[in-house]
Amino acid sequence: MDKVLLLWEGSGLYNLTLPQFIMIAICLVLLYLAIAKKFEPLLLLPIGFGGILANIPEAGLALSALDQAISVLNPETARLFAQELGITLQSAAEEENRLAIKAAVKGLEDPVIYKNLKAIAAAQGYTDGMLYTFYKVTIASGAAPLIIFMGVGAMTDFGPLLANPRTLFLGAAAQFGIFATVLGAVGLSALGVVDFNINQAAAIGIIGGADGPTAIYVSSILAPELLGAIAVAAYSYMALVPLIQPPIMRALTSKEERSIQMSQLRPVSKKEKIIFPIAVLGLVVLFLPSAAPLLGMFCLGNLMRESGVVERLSDTAQNALINTVTIFLGLSVGSKLVADLFLTVETLGILSLGIVAFGIGTACGVLMAKLMNRFSKMPINPLIGSAGVSAVPMAARVSNKVGLESNPQNFLLMHAMGPNVAGVIGSAVAAGIMIMYLG
Amino acid sequence: MDKVLLLWEGSGLYNLTLPQFIMIAICLVLLYLAIAKKFEPLLLLPIGFGGILANIPEAGLALSALDQAISVLNPETARLFAQELGITLQSAAEEENRLAIKAAVKGLEDPVIYKNLKAIAAAQGYTDGMLYTFYKVTIASGAAPLIIFMGVGAMTDFGPLLANPRTLFLGAAAQFGIFATVLGAVGLSALGVVDFNINQAAAIGIIGGADGPTAIYVSSILAPELLGAIAVAAYSYMALVPLIQPPIMRALTSKEERSIQMSQLRPVSKKEKIIFPIAVLGLVVLFLPSAAPLLGMFCLGNLMRESGVVERLSDTAQNALINTVTIFLGLSVGSKLVADLFLTVETLGILSLGIVAFGIGTACGVLMAKLMNRFSKMPINPLIGSAGVSAVPMAARVSNKVGLESNPQNFLLMHAMGPNVAGVIGSAVAAGIMIMYLG
Amino acid sequence: MDKVLLLWEGSGLYNLTLPQFIMIAICLVLLYLAIAKKFEPLLLLPIGFGGILANIPEAGLALSALDQAISVLNPETARLFAQELGITLQSAAEEENRLAIKAAVKGLEDPVIYKNLKAIAAAQGYTDGMLYTFYKVTIASGAAPLIIFMGVGAMTDFGPLLANPRTLFLGAAAQFGIFATVLGAVGLSALGVVDFNINQAAAIGIIGGADGPTAIYVSSILAPELLGAIAVAAYSYMALVPLIQPPIMRALTSKEERSIQMSQLRPVSKKEKIIFPIAVLGLVVLFLPSAAPLLGMFCLGNLMRESGVVERLSDTAQNALINTVTIFLGLSVGSKLVADLFLTVETLGILSLGIVAFGIGTACGVLMAKLMNRFSKMPINPLIGSAGVSAVPMAARVSNKVGLESNPQNFLLMHAMGPNVAGVIGSAVAAGIMIMYLG
Amino acid sequence: MQEPDLITEGLNLLILGMGFVFVFLTLLVVATTLMSKSINHFFPEAEEPAPAKAGKAAALPTEQNSEVIAAISAAIHLHRHRNKN
Amino acid sequence: MQEPDLITEGLNLLILGMGFVFVFLTLLVVATTLMSKSINHFFPEAEEPAPAKAGKAAALPTEQNSEVIAAISAAIHLHRHRNKN
Amino acid sequence: MQEPDLITEGLNLLILGMGFVFVFLTLLVVATTLMSKSINHFFPEAEEPAPAKAGKAAALPTEQNSEVIAAISAAIHLHRHRNKN
Ligand code: NA
Ligand code: NA
Ligand code: NA
């Protein structure tokens, strides 16, 4: 009978807290959006599922072995920890001892003692939770976003960009959304609404880059505690691009501007496409070493694609490899959706700032296109400016769709692909600057 | 000439022990069964091959760097180890020193000293054996069986189960094989025939779950020292299902019962199939958090399949990913087929108990179906009860085949798929209870 | 403004050293050869790209966290390191302190202190560079070359070898290139031209094996500091086989010898093909345990292929898995192309010795074929002897091509495949002997 | 003393385990039945399953099919051409 | 004191960041334009792109195509055979 | 003193290595020949290789083939239909 009680006391129903319940509900909404509304399902489905797993009470799937040992501290482990930490446990009550040790570990500065505590926890039979393991291998190592970026590179055709390199300026302008949002985040902190430090503000800003792997990579370095909220915001808003962008685009352009027909893109030779990723890498080498992991892997993927001599590698990078990594990246991001990290006023701040970032990026892209139109002989339809935020290929499709509304003969898709992929490079550059400046 | 002697003294022929020879012969039999008899070749081929590699004398492929350092202890390493262990080596004979250190390491309780010994071994140039590395990454981390379970989920169609949910009871009843075997194992221990503790008994019982990844996952947690024998037993008996089950099925049923025709299954909507894995996960959250890794990954795989929005992920989970993991899982299981772990009376106990578990599970499934037939309006052919042990899809095919013998018009395959996949859920639930109770 | 200065001082242009510039130029040449000349592009493209990444100034992609901490030592980390190392920093100048700590770490013997330094570096926020992480996981663990060798095994058809087993002698003779090169390397050292120890000499010799994964595996064990140069030499010369071999082949044979027609190969049964990899493994078990990882994985791959019962595993080993590993293996090899490891006189020695190794191997293969022709009833065209160096399948194609020049009806391709795959086994055996003797 | 304890533990595990397996799967039967009923009540979709299946099958191999169809067209063209001669 | 610092840092990041993004992408525009011009000047290849593309598409599925063609031949053979009867 | 040692080691490695490579591959020649002879003696299977190969090729793409065949049938159907008109 004791054992039945044990089973009951170990059950989720007995231990479920309200915040965990809320988080599970939120994750179900993410799953609904992914499946029924097709909101970036490749990421949001595993993220939502991982979020549910992370919030299962008592399962501790998102905890390290040490965290688990502290959260369910038995007397023997408590004794060993106290000995290693050099503290004495006076209290008779186990819970008080547990809190004393938890506080001591939190305040611990000596990494050698920390390593020893981990060894003790492992020796006492505690193991890393499944999601914690996935997180450590995929995100904490930095590998997963980079591998995905390589796959994205292998899927990207820079032809439209090479045919019209000036569209790179549109990709540059749209990054204003990133930095303006940083300013917004520090402003909110200055007003006392929320409490972000500069690293957190930068990580939030990168949502405006509208590029999932970049956002995850940057926040895993600058503010891992916000990674869950930032990734969810980035992917959700990328899915919402068809709702967010059109009103801004219409507000900033006249019907005539939206009807501008662009001259057909020149054909781009294979040689140009092969040399382009090497040229980008060269500029990274010379000017922004801190962007080397992101842009390096991106250019490697693109070179594998365009060189035409390593079809097998390019094919694997675009399929088996990127799919595998996507599953575990999604689950790992989900592991950061635990209630005590996500259910904070900061998350509301992140979600609000994120959509502002998208809006500003869109607006700046459009305005830049209008500006360029003044100085350029070749006409540029300002609608392709909004594609500079990235969100490949959704933003380019939006440009095309809004363009067709004004002029049914005006197919902007290929023209918008230029700023679209320029936006990917632009936000990787912005990411490199932030990492260099703050990392 | 000295060097030739060295080569000879380092050769396998010089060092091969009888137990190693026997193990290699056993592994060759496994390869023969896998290749010539098609006994679960996807697992038994890499397991058998890994077993041969693990028993190569002097190669130490299944040993950690520390174990290797101890097994071929040179004087310098001996001195460093003795210093770290705080013991003095009086003996002039190296072999005695080696045994003294081996004993000291075995009795070692302080995890920090253990970590330091590992660092010393690495610094002295010893490295982890290949199979040990594979084992650590795939099984000790818990990842490989879970990833395979995700792939199995992505290959599973719950349609037949959803069309007739009562077949879940058959999947429940067949798990009696698991727990009866646990009782058998502790009984044998009580009689003094073998010496299993309760954790080992539970790991042996899970063979009766007739589900490879579940068996490997549970025994890697509860009794890693028995993992080799348990995995070999589980996969061998799964391959033997067409021999083990039919006599039991015939003995417990009359010809009339075996000829019962079941009404055709209703079509199941896509929505039901999408919600089912989420519903299973919900019950796990509420009632059995310890089953969350196994059933969570299983449900994720199934949701990826049924949602229809992440075809690429589902495809990779069912192909490249599960195949890759299967190769290394098999080799890692093989690493536990070293002679001193496998050639014990315990292994004979495990093999005997395993087949008993299959038999009891089969019988209980059939009897449950007969019982349900008494209380149900819709007729149930008791032959589908045996499919409740899992062994997907072999057991369902056996139900179909035995059914056709009695009534050539009676196609039971789809009806048996219901209890078949229910058995997978059932044994994962049983695994969760055992891990919770004993882990 | 200070910040702009910071950006400039952190830029590559400001920090680029001449050696780094030269290395980047060399890597661009590798990329050119890979893409435009199709020089083993599957490996040389990622190697060349990785080499560029490794030489990006300030990015530290090829450095461990500890190395990065030392290379940009801040005062706080310096204090902690000095404390752990037990040294006192008297100097006021930071750079002097840095050099003092660098020297102390280099001279460090205690692995426990080393581990603690790593923990301190991690706690201070330093992380392993991307390429360092890839190297650690793929090459330092030994896994990547072995997994590639498994894939190669799964792609290899031993039919021609089984039809004419005597061609194994050709594969044996061609390994003379390996050992002659070892002698050359120690000779150069004795002359004082370069300074190789015996382990380095052995690793250089293995270039003559003309087998990429074997060369990488051996040098990662015996001389990791030379791995970059050795891998580049091995793959470059394999690509140059059509230029290196024909002159040697023509010089050593008469036109009559080159025109010898060989009798058609007998068909080989499936059973023979299945048992062959097991037989090879058996000989490894009995005589050369140190070759077990390489030949074991090779035989596993071949058994998966020929057994016909695990098509899915064989397919994945030949595609998704080998492709994925190839990408990361290439990048990891590239991480060893950092200027201070590569731009040495030793590299010139390696490149010179490597081509000599290819030449000697080719010559010995041809001469062995001529010798066998004296004692054999069945005629052997000596041109197939050169295929014994491996370089699969390029060397066999070269035999065929040179043969056609002398006799347009003489198709040697299938006959040359025998010694070609024999050369793979031969160099793996040679690798095993070296590892045993020196490892 | 140890043996009886071990057997007790085994019995405990048997009772607890089988009990819980049945409870869990019974709950699953109930949940599944309710779920199916409410879905079929609120979203009666007589014809959905079939197109859903077809949709899934057609999702990935589109590109492939176009190749196949091109190949077939070529083959048929060739075939007609040869028949003429 | 902390707030003003934070805002200053944010402003710094804004100016530095946007400035550098524009500098970098401008350099890229220049580099790309020069690269394209010199390539098209030194290696004028009017017709290359098309075959390059086709080459890529044809690279991998060769084996598959042969299967497809075999299947088609078989089907057509069957079809002709049946038509005869 | 070090140089002669190094050269001796190199020579040792040469003799030992080449010797062992030949011993090992000679054993493999013997083992392979014996193996082939005994297999061909005890299991004379004149025709096995060919179907084995075919079997392997056919193993995986079954599903694909069915698609291909469906596509072909459709194409042929269309083709006949058009011919009629
Ligand atoms: Na962007
Ligand atoms: Na089961
Ligand atoms: Na070779």
Residue pair F47/C265 in contact by the 8 Å Cβ criterion? no
**Segment D6-25 mean pLDDT:** 93
Which pLDDT value is given to residue C29? Answer: 97
| Yes or no, beta carbons of C7 and E16 under 8 Å apart | yes
The whole-angstrom distance between B226's CA and the closest CA on chain A is 18
**pLDDT tens digits along F46-66:** 544 443 333 333 333 334 444
Distance B235 CA to ligand 2 centre (A): 13
Chain C contacts of B326, Cβ < 8 Å?
A: 313
| Yes or no, beta carbons of A307 and C52 under 8 Å apart | no
The whole-angstrom distance between F24's CA and the closest CA on chain E is 38
pLDDT at E73 > cutoff 90: no
User: Which candidate in C49, C85, C155, C315 is best for mutational testing of the A interface (most A CBs within 10 A)?
Assistant: C49
Domain spans in chain F, listed from the N-terminal domain onward? 1-44, 54-85
Q: Is B3 on the interface with F (CB under 8 A)?
A: yes
Which pLDDT value is given to residue D53? Answer: 38
Which pLDDT value is given to residue E48? Answer: 44
Which pLDDT value is given to residue F60? Answer: 36
Q: What angle do CA C106, C107, C109 make, to 5 degrees?
A: 110
Q: Across all residues in chain B, what is the average pLDDT?
A: 93
Q: Mean pLDDT lowest for which of A4-13, A239-248, B397-406, F10-19?
A: A4-13
Residues on chain D bordering chain B, Cβ-to-Cβ distance under 8 angstroms: 3-4, 6-7, 9-11, 13-14, 16-18, 20-29, 31-33, 35-36, 39-40, 43, 45, 48-49, 52, 55-56, 59-60
Residue pair A399/A386 in contact by the 8 Å Cβ criterion? yes
Give residue A250's Cα distance to chain centre: 28
Which pLDDT value is given to residue C196? Answer: 94
Q: What is the DSSP string of F15-36?
A: HHHHHHHHHHHHHHHHHHHHHH
**pLDDT tens digits along B162-177:** 999 999 999 999 999 9
pLDDT at B7 > cutoff 60: yes
**Segment C103-113 mean pLDDT:** 90
| Yes or no, beta carbons of A310 and C115 under 8 Å apart | no
Chain D contacts of F79, Cβ < 8 Å?
A: 76
Residue F73 and residue F81: Cα distance in Å, rounded? 12
Which pLDDT value is given to residue A248? Answer: 97
Distance B424 CA to ligand 2 centre (A): 4
Q: Count interface pairs C-F at CB distance under 8 A.
A: 134
Which of A186, A187, A279 is closest, CB to CB, to E31?
A279
Chains with at least 3 CB pairs less than 8 angstroms from chain F: B, C, D, E
User: Which ligand is nearest to the Cα of residue A212, counting in written order?
Assistant: 1
The whole-angstrom distance between B38's CA and the closest CA on chain F is 14
pLDDT at D59 > cutoff 80: no
Which pLDDT value is given to residue C430? Answer: 96
State ipTM. 0.89
Q: Position of tokens 């909220």?
A: A229
The dihedrals phi and psi of E25, each to the nearest 5 degrees, come to: -70, -30
**Mean pLDDT split into 10-residue runs, chain A, 439 residues:** 76 91 97 96 97 94 94 89 88 83 90 92 93 96 96 96 95 95 93 92 94 96 95 94 96 94 92 96 94 97 97 97 98 95 93 94 96 88 94 93 91 95 96 90
CA distances from D34 to B221, B268, B274 (A): 36, 14, 15
Closest CA to F32 of C422, C286, C376: C422
Which pLDDT value is given to residue D4? Answer: 56
**Segment B307-318 mean pLDDT:** 97
pLDDT at C379 > cutoff 80: yes
| Yes or no, beta carbons of B283 and D28 under 8 Å apart | yes
Which pLDDT value is given to residue E85? Answer: 42
Residue B88 and residue B77: Cα distance in Å, rounded? 13
Q: What is the DSSP string of A23-54?
A: HHHHHHHHHHHHHHS-SSHHHHHHHHHHHHHH
pLDDT at B425 > cutoff 60: yes
| Yes or no, beta carbons of B3 and F16 under 8 Å apart | yes
Closest CA to B63 of B48, B74, B53: B53
| Yes or no, beta carbons of E48 and A175 under 8 Å apart | no
Which pLDDT value is given to residue D72? Answer: 52
User: For residue C243, which amino acid is it?
Assistant: L
Q: What dihedral do alpha carbons A328, A330, A331, A337 form, nearest 10°?
A: 150
Residue F35 and residue F47: Cα distance in Å, rounded? 19
Structure tokens belonging to residue A138: 């995929």
**Segment E51-79 mean pLDDT:** 43
**Segment B202-220 mean pLDDT:** 95
The whole-angstrom distance between F47's CA and the closest CA on chain E is 23
Between positions 194 and 213 of A, the ones with CB within 8 A of E are 197-198, 201-202
**Segment D51-79 mean pLDDT:** 43
Distance C210 CA to ligand 3 centre (A): 5
Which pLDDT value is given to residue D46? Answer: 53
| Yes or no, beta carbons of E72 and F72 under 8 Å apart | yes
Which pLDDT value is given to residue D45? Answer: 64
Closest chain F residue by Cα to residue B2: F12
User: Which ligand is nearest to the Cα of residue A175, counting in written order?
Assistant: 1
Which pLDDT value is given to residue C3? Answer: 72
The dihedrals phi and psi of C175, each to the nearest 5 degrees, come to: -75, -10
Q: Across all residues in chain C, what is the average pLDDT?
A: 93
In total, chain B counts a number of residues equal to 439
Residue B101 and residue C25: Cα distance in Å, rounded? 53
Distance C215 CA to ligand 3 centre (A): 10
Which pLDDT value is given to residue C229? Answer: 95
Q: Mean pLDDT lowest for which of B21-30, C49-58, C402-411, D53-62?
A: D53-62
Q: Position of tokens 């299902």?
A: B241
**pLDDT tens digits along C223-240:** 999 999 999 999 999 999
Which pLDDT value is given to residue D58? Answer: 35
Distance A328 CA to ligand 1 centre (A): 23
Chain B contacts of C146, Cβ < 8 Å?
A: 130
C–D contact: 3+ Cβ pairs < 8 A: no
Q: What is the DSSP string of A145-204?
A: HHHHHHHHHHH---HHHHH-TTHHHHHHHTTHHHHHHHHHHHHHHHTTSS---HHHHHHH
Chain D contacts of F76, Cβ < 8 Å?
A: 76
Which pLDDT value is given to residue B94? Answer: 82
Closest chain D residue by Cα to residue A5: D16
Residue E27 and residue A288: Cα distance in Å, rounded? 12
Which pLDDT value is given to residue D68? Answer: 47
Which residues, 6+ apart, have CB-to-CB distance to B314 below 8 Å? B154, B301, B304, B305
**What burial letters (b/e) apply to A138-165, b meaning 16+ CB within 10 Å?**
bbbbbbbbbbbbbbbbbbbebbbbbbbb
Residue B321 and residue F9: Cα distance in Å, rounded? 46
User: Which ligand is nearest to the Cα of residue F25, counting in written order?
Assistant: 3
Chain F contacts of C315, Cβ < 8 Å?
A: 60
User: Which ligand is nearest to the Cα of residue A174, counting in written order?
Assistant: 1
Which pLDDT value is given to residue F45? Answer: 65
pLDDT at B206 > cutoff 90: yes
User: Which ligand is nearest to the Cα of residue C176, counting in written order?
Assistant: 3
| Yes or no, beta carbons of B179 and D17 under 8 Å apart | yes
| Yes or no, beta carbons of F20 and B3 under 8 Å apart | no
Between positions 331 and 360 of C, the ones with CB within 8 A of A are 331
| Yes or no, beta carbons of C286 and B13 under 8 Å apart | yes
Which pLDDT value is given to residue E55? Answer: 36
**Segment D56-75 mean pLDDT:** 43
Distance B291 CA to ligand 2 centre (A): 14
Distance C389 CA to ligand 3 centre (A): 4
Closest chain F residue by Cα to residue E73: F72
Neighbours of C256 (CB within 10 A): 9
Chain F contacts of C165, Cβ < 8 Å?
A: 28-29, 32-33, 36
